[in-house]
Amino acid sequence: MKNRVITISREFGSGGRTIGRRTAEELGIPCYDNELLLKIAEESGFKENYIRDAGEYAPGGFLSNIFSHQGAGPNNADYLWSVQYRIITELAEKEPCVIVGRCADYILKDKADCLRVFIHADMAFRAERIVNVYGEREQSPEQRIREKDKRRAAYHRFYTDMKWGRAQNYDITLNSGTLGIDRCVNIIKELY
Amino acid sequence: MKNRVITISREFGSGGRTIGRRTAEELGIPCYDNELLLKIAEESGFKENYIRDAGEYAPGGFLSNIFSHQGAGPNNADYLWSVQYRIITELAEKEPCVIVGRCADYILKDKADCLRVFIHADMAFRAERIVNVYGEREQSPEQRIREKDKRRAAYHRFYTDMKWGRAQNYDITLNSGTLGIDRCVNIIKELY
């Protein structure tokens, strides 16, 4: 029987990672986000920082141009994708869990019994939240959000050919700004 | 204080209307869908059937070309929109309620304390459901669904300039095919 897995896609700053962690904690199952990143790093031999960035750049963008050979054969981003694909599949086959980001919804679509969740919120909520959680930066929070979202959407589109944030790709989408983090956790927990 | 109103947008055949009715019943508040249609019909002097169709055609399409003057001034579709706009506003100002379809989410965005819901499901679920609920027709259920969805999306886009089915336009979107009608009703009820 396939394992029950919660996959969470999320807009930057919407609290998707917090929701994933808390849901997993309350359900007593593991949650993979940074842990997953580290596993991928170990296996692929890339540095963690590089992976974090590459995970949000679609191939053909900035990083792949700098780091990849321009000739034939898979580039770094494609190699990373294949490692990520394998690790996510193995995690989901091992036990029920929560996986945040990294196109897990797409990767697992025939491999696990997924509850596919998307978390979003309006700009004001997210701007306030990223300053609280990640601190001030030179760029305005709005600029940081727009850039991150753009990258995530492009990455998702490139590898899955599905539109990020389209309701029809998920079992449930939640506005953490209007509903609040607690209610999002409760709803996902009850559905699981 | 603004009334709490649940607005339900839905893909054809997804059970959105059933979910709206049952949620309203369990909460003890009114639900407007066909009733709303009849009210609009009474006030505008149009026949109910015409309104039902026009509600899913964006102006410039088939019906408005046949029935409207091609000169200056508002056409029938625009007139209907203004009647619908006023009626939905009045209903929401009177008391808490559920409103299914008709761009109520957009119309009420500053006029009520809305819980904006979108219901969708995959093609197989909806095809089976519309044959059960509405009976067989000459057209295949898949064709009927595709046409209805296309009209609803175009209508919504024309009057609201918002993309129908985009998660970010709602507080919650639910896949009635994977979650089931009962769970959708329960989640909306609890959020309300």
Q: What is the per-residue pLDDT across B71-82, written as a single tens digit (0 to 9) for each?
A: 555 677 788 788
Q: How many CB atoms lie within 10 A of CB A190?
A: 11
Q: How far apart are CA A38 and CA B8, in angstroms?
A: 42
pTM: 0.86
- Helix ranges, B59-122 (H): 62-67, 76-94, 104-107
Chain A neighbors of B166, CB-CB under 8 A:
165-167
Q: What pLDDT, on a 0 to 100 scale, did the predictor assign at position B59? A: 61
Q: Which residue of chain B has the CA closest to A190?
A: B187
DSSP state of B3: P
Q: What is the mean pLDDT of residues B149-178?
A: 90
Q: Does A175 touch chain B (CB under 8 A)?
A: yes
The identity of residue A160, as a single letter, is: T
Beta-sheet strand order (sheet of B97-100) = A31-32, A97-100, A4-10, A113-120, A172-175, B172-175, B113-120, B4-10, B97-100, B31-32
Q: Does B166 touch chain A (CB under 8 A)?
A: yes
Position B132 pLDDT exceeds 50: yes
User: Burial letters for A74-97: b for 16+ Cβ neighbours within 10 Å, e otherwise?
Assistant: ebbbebbbebbbebbeebbeeebb
- A172/B174 Cβ within 8 A: yes
The identity of residue B19, as a single letter, is: I
Q: Is the dihedral of CA B38, B41, B47, B51 positive or negative?
A: negative
Q: What is the ipTM of this complex?
A: 0.83
Q: What pLDDT, on a 0 to 100 scale, did the predictor assign at position B73? A: 58
Position B61 pLDDT exceeds 90: no
- B172/A174 Cβ within 8 A: yes
Phi, psi of A55 (to 5 degrees): -65, -10
In chain B the first and final C-alpha atoms are separated, in Å, by: 16
Nearest-10 crossing angle of helices A76-94, A34-44: 120
Closest-CA distance of chain B to residue A119, Å: 9
Position B37 pLDDT exceeds 80: no
Model pLDDT for residues B6-27, shown as the tens digit of each residue: 999 999 999 999 999 999 999 9
Q: What pLDDT, on a 0 to 100 scale, did the predictor assign at position B137? A: 85
Position B101 pLDDT exceeds 50: yes
Q: What is the mean pLDDT of residues B100-127?
A: 93
Chain B neighbors of A191, CB-CB under 8 A:
179, 183, 187
Position B68 pLDDT exceeds 60: no
Q: How far apart are CA B119 and CA A103, in angstroms?
A: 23
Please list, in sequence order, all residues whose beta carbon lies within 8 angstroms of the beta carbon of residue B169, skipping any fewer than 6 positions away: B105, B116, B118, B162, B163
Q: Does B153 touch chain A (CB under 8 A)?
A: no
Q: How far apart are CA A165 and CA A119, in angstroms?
A: 9
Q: Which stretches in chain A have pLDDT values below 70?
A: 37, 41, 52-74
